[in-house]
Amino acid sequence: MTSGDHTGIELNLEDKNDWELEQIEIELLLEGIHRFYGYDFRNYALPSLRRRIWHHVHAEGLTTISALQDKVLHERSCFERLVHNLSIPVTEMFRDPNLFLTFRQKVIPLLRTYPYIRIWHAGCSTGEEVYSMAILLHEEGLYDKARIYATDMNSRSLQQAKEGVFDIKRMKQYTKNYLEAGGKQSFSEYYTAKYNSVIFQPFLKKNMIFAEHNLATDRSFNEFNVIFCRNVMIYFNDELRNHVHGLFHESLSHFGILVLGAKESIHFTNFSDSYEALDRTEKIYRKIK
Ligand SMILES: C[S@@+](CC[C@H](N)C(=O)[O-])C[C@H]1O[C@@H](n2cnc3c(N)ncnc32)[C@H](O)[C@@H]1O
């Protein structure tokens, strides 16, 4: 065996050991968080979870995942920063405008026939999706008979959602999205600008209910005509995704509508036969059994 070969074998073994050790450290960190704080990240998809954890190790000025475990378990504020980091609160108003346009065209006519409408935005982040829905329902004359339940596991994002204050710099993009989504008025009528922020009209909030809810650990809490859960389950593994689909199936009324994100699908889940596609491209499904 040449020394080159020998070094090669040693390197491979070292890589294997590093990888095994990293796996153990991640598992211990997630187990500790689950047992101590009750947040369950154990079934999040590993590649993005791993990236986020390492990002957080460095952000906390640490060098190992074990050191992060120590800090997270002994300092609640460090744990809260980690939850915020793992939650990926990226969102925008009328995100994927064509989905909202299709919702107006295909779902609103169904909702008109109901005496009242209950909508759940699961994983609502900082609330942009929820305010978009309130505007849409208002323009369709349905907001007064609607209740919008907006939930997320991230309390910091939820607080922002409740306030309804957004960065003024994003309004140009949101106005474009609103118009593409079939918006019927002037978007600026819905908010008042103040310094670098805008605050949305208080009437939009009147039928919104915000609450902390963790899809991995909390139960169904009502029956809904519509559930939006977009760009949340892409971060879950198959087991957790199926668990959450079970929760949604239990929470939807018969013929209830499920709306997923652009990169998500009901196919390849345990519930694919329970829904028909109302619009396959926009990921709008209707519960049929
Ligand atoms: C990328 S944002 C999606 C926001 C919005 N639905 C959209 O599509 O623009 C993902 C959100 O899912 C939330 N989330 C992740 N895991 C969750 C869980 N187990 N329970 C509840 N919310 C969760 C995060 O906190 C984050 O706010």
Average pLDDT over the chain reads 95
**Nearest alpha carbon to residue 95 among 231, 214, 201, 209:** 231
Region 207-219: what's the mean pLDDT? 98
Nearest CA to ligand 1 atom 14: 123
| pLDDT interval class at 3 (50, 70, 90) | very low
Nearest CA to ligand 1 atom 24: 87
- Tell me which of 92, 130, 153, 228 to substitute to probe ligand 1's pocket, judged by most ligand atoms within 8 Å of the beta carbon: 153
| pLDDT tens digits, 66-80 | 999 999 999 999 999
3-state SS, residue 221: coil
Q: Which pLDDT does position 2 carry in this prediction?
A: 37
Q: Which two tokens stand for residue 160?
A: 């922002």
Q: Which two tokens stand for residue 70?
A: 């120590």
Look at residue 10 and tell me whether its pLDDT is greater than 90. no
Other C-beta atoms within 10 Å of 5: how many? 9
> Which amino acid, one-letter code, is at 42?
R
Q: Is the CB of 73 under 6 A from ligand 1?
A: no
Whole-number Å distance, alpha carbon 38 to ligand 1 midpoint, is 17
> What is the torsion angle, in degrees rounded to the nearest 10, for the CA atoms of residue 13, residue 17, residue 20 and residue 21?
-170
**Separation between Cα atoms, residue 177 and residue 160, nearest integer Å:** 21
Region 112-119: what's the mean pLDDT? 98
DSSP element (H, E) containing 125: none
Q: Which two tokens stand for residue 32?
A: 């500790």
**Nearest alpha carbon to residue 198 among 206, 207, 211, 189:** 189
Whole-number Å distance, alpha carbon 256 to ligand 1 midpoint, is 21
Nearest CA to ligand 1 atom 10: 232
Whole-number Å distance, alpha carbon 200 to ligand 1 midpoint, is 22
Q: Is the CB of 89 under 6 A from ligand 1?
A: yes
Task: Count Cα atoms within 13 angstroms, Cβ side, for 265.
Answer: 7
For residue 74, what are the contacts with CB-CB under 8 A and spacing of at least 6?
none
Q: Which pLDDT does position 14 carry in this prediction?
A: 77
Whole-number Å distance, alpha carbon 196 to ligand 1 midpoint, is 26
**Separation between Cα atoms, residue 106 and residue 284, nearest integer Å:** 9
For residue 121, what are the contacts with CB-CB under 8 A and spacing of at least 6?
129, 130, 133, 148, 149, 150, 151, 228, 229
Whole-number Å distance, alpha carbon 13 to ligand 1 midpoint, is 38
Q: Is the CB of 283 under 6 A from ligand 1?
A: no
| pLDDT interval class at 126 (50, 70, 90) | very high
Q: How far is CA 240 from CA 30, 120, 217, 262, in A?
A: 15, 19, 10, 19
Q: Is the CB of 69 under 6 A from ligand 1?
A: no
| pLDDT interval class at 13 (50, 70, 90) | confident
Whole-number Å distance, alpha carbon 227 to ligand 1 midpoint, is 13
3-state SS, residue 286: strand
**Separation between Cα atoms, residue 58 and residue 277, nearest integer Å:** 44
| pLDDT interval class at 17 (50, 70, 90) | confident
Measured over the CA atoms of residue 260, residue 261, residue 265 and residue 271, the dihedral's sign is negative
Q: Please give the CATH superfamily to which domain 97-287 belongs.
A: Vaccinia Virus protein VP39 (3.40.50.150)
3-state SS, residue 142: coil
Domain layout of the chain by residue ranges: 3-86, 97-287
Q: Is the CB of 132 under 6 A from ligand 1?
A: no
